[in-house]
Amino acid sequence: MLLRSIHVGPIETNCYLLGADGRCCLVDPGGDGPDILEMVRLSGLALDAILLTHGHWDHHNGISEVLAAYPDLPVYIHKDELFHGQEATPHYFFPPAGDVRTVEDGDTIQAGGLTFQVLCTPGHSAGSLVYLCGDVMIAGDTLFAGTCGRCDLPGGGLEPMMESLRRLGALEGDYKVCPGHGGTSTLEEERRHNPYMRQAMREL
């Protein structure tokens, strides 16, 4: 499996490219569309999907430029992250673009020559998702190295965040944790040293 990432947008969101067998997909193209398209070009792989961990603007702000180059790409996201025109804070939701396909907890996605398991992990937002692919965890803004995502935005909350961290901490085995911002970690490292995950797991 090929795994690459670049920092995009004004708050340096991690945009990931994952691929195998001649194909690839993007996770959270949050800005700087030309840089993302260059990452795809340099990979030498055929882009076939976009996965979004949640609907905040800094995770999808570059999607229009990607879709301009690849107009038929499916875009995967949880239904609770879609903007329907009535919310007072539209920048906290994804304005549907392209072939939007909503996913639920427990679904699997075939994209980029890979299989992704979908975990719904509310807390940062109502429909935040974590994607598991082999030994890689694309954690969005749920789990960071040493901390977790903020819980005070629309649709977020501390109680669901702790439940989500408990769930991630209870997964079998170890994963490379690829968060929405900042550096990578491992799930075992977070079990041992992340104070929020440690607190959540004490409540099991």
Q: pLDDT by residue for the chain (204 residues), tens digit each?
A: 999 999 999 999 999 999 999 999 999 999 999 999 999 999 999 999 999 999 999 999 999 999 999 999 999 999 999 987 666 566 778 887 789 999 999 999 999 999 999 999 999 999 999 999 999 999 999 999 999 999 999 899 999 999 999 999 999 999 999 999 999 999 999 999 999 999 999 875
Q: How far apart are CA 125 and CA 44, in angstroms?
A: 34
Torsion of CA 169, 81, 59, 182, to 10 degrees: -20
Instruction: Domains for the chain: give ranges and CATH numbers.
Output: 2-202 (3.60.15.10)
Burial class (CB in 10 A: 0-12, 13-18, 19+), 184: middle
What DSSP state is assigned to residue 80?
G
State the residue for tokens 């790409």: 73
Q: How far apart are CA 190 and CA 144, in angstroms?
A: 9
Give the DSSP per-residue string, 95-137. Answer: ---SEEEEE-TT-EEEETTEEEEEEE-TTSSTT-EEEEETTEE
